[in-house]
Structure 1
Amino acid sequence: MPTPPLPIAAVVYPPALDIGAFMRTAVAALAERGVRLGGVVQHDARPNPDDPCAMSLEDLASGTRFTLSQDLGSGSSACRLDPGALAQAAVAVRAAIEQGADLVIFNKFGAQEAAGGGLRAEMGLAAARSIPVLTAVAERLAGDWERFTGDPATMLPADLDAVLAWWQAVSTAR
């Protein structure tokens, strides 16, 4: 009998892939199948000539968007991540966990999470509550993801069929 997949998984993606668009497609496909989703997905405000790095997170439960990029002025080279918006996103994710989502989606396990911040605590909370977690991780951070989840970690290709097959296997095993 094959070992069931871990209920915490990451879509590993190359730099050229628009992972936000892929995750939004996966969210739509899962929602069409009746999965009660919680969590957040990323939207980039491209093309925006005034702010090419602008991005927001959408709360899957309410549709509310949190603008993650703060305007620090044209001469700034500091991190543009708005900690207040990230805190709002964390509250939304925690609410989805408390309300019993079937699956919690995180836009990505990125540099913030790899360093111990971002939405890492919420990922751990969902897993501790036995709620499956799906996120994305850039190829360059795959090792950090494996250290966070423990080896072996569930690593999925950026393929919708693979994500849906993972969810089917996880939801059947629950």
Structure 2
Amino acid sequence: MTASTPASSTVLPIAAILYTPTDNVEAVLVEAAARLGERGVRLGGVIQHDIGGALNDPCAMELEDLSSGTRFSLSQELGRGSEACRLDPDALARASMIVRNGIDHGAELVIFNKFGAQEAAGAGLRAEMGIAALAGTPLLTAVGHRFLAEWMEFTGGESSLLAPSVDSVLAWWNALRHPA
């Protein structure tokens, strides 16, 4: 299955950027959020910033609260040699509250950093994605090809799949807001 553009299919208020490991999907989401924010779109949700290079730690990550611009660590320090998951459960709980707060306070679009391993397994921010959909708030996320089957099951196949580009995201948003 390949990503579709809004012009070629029905535009749905649930969209996922379909990406491969070689795509820099975090940069696409950061730029798309910035461009939508410049247009006056009230954003909610969280996007990921990989900060490992700056810290000499390839696994270091931060989340940005799109409603305030505040950043906080998503990864926890587990000590030298640890091979356990570095996802900080407290940070995930904070992200959950940020998303719910954005929906409650009228975000026009909620962006989730990704539908990844946690969400595919039924955890992470999966419940918040469902809350956004049930509230009628459009949502945007990114999903790797390896989790496409889980994403399709989660959405019942009812989502727009986008190419990994800012232009694709902006075209989806424009088509959603201004149907032909």
TM-score, normalised relative to structure 2: 0.90
1:106 aligns with 2:112: yes
Higher mean C-alpha displacement, 148-157 vs 2-11: 2-11
Identity %: 58
How far 1:46 moved relative to its partner? 2.8
RMSD of Structure 2 on Structure 1 (CA): 1.5
Matches of 2:106 and 2:10 in 1, distance apart?
Answer: 22
1:1-174 aligned within 5 A: 4-48=10-54, 50-172=56-178
Return 5+ residue gaps in structure 2 as ranges. 1-7
2:95 partner letter? A
Native 8 Å contact 2:162 2:169 kept in 1: yes
Shift of 1:66: 2.1
Instruction: Report the secondary structure of 2:53's partner residue.
Output: coil
Deviation at 1:25, TM superposition (A): 0.6
User: Could you report, residue by residue, the CA deviation over 1:16-59 in whole angstroms, capped at 9, with x for unpaired residues?
Assistant: 12211110011111112221111111111131454220001000
The SS at the match of 2:143 is strand
Q: 1:49 to 1:63 in 2, by over 3 A?
A: closer
Structure 1 residues not aligned, in runs of 5+: none
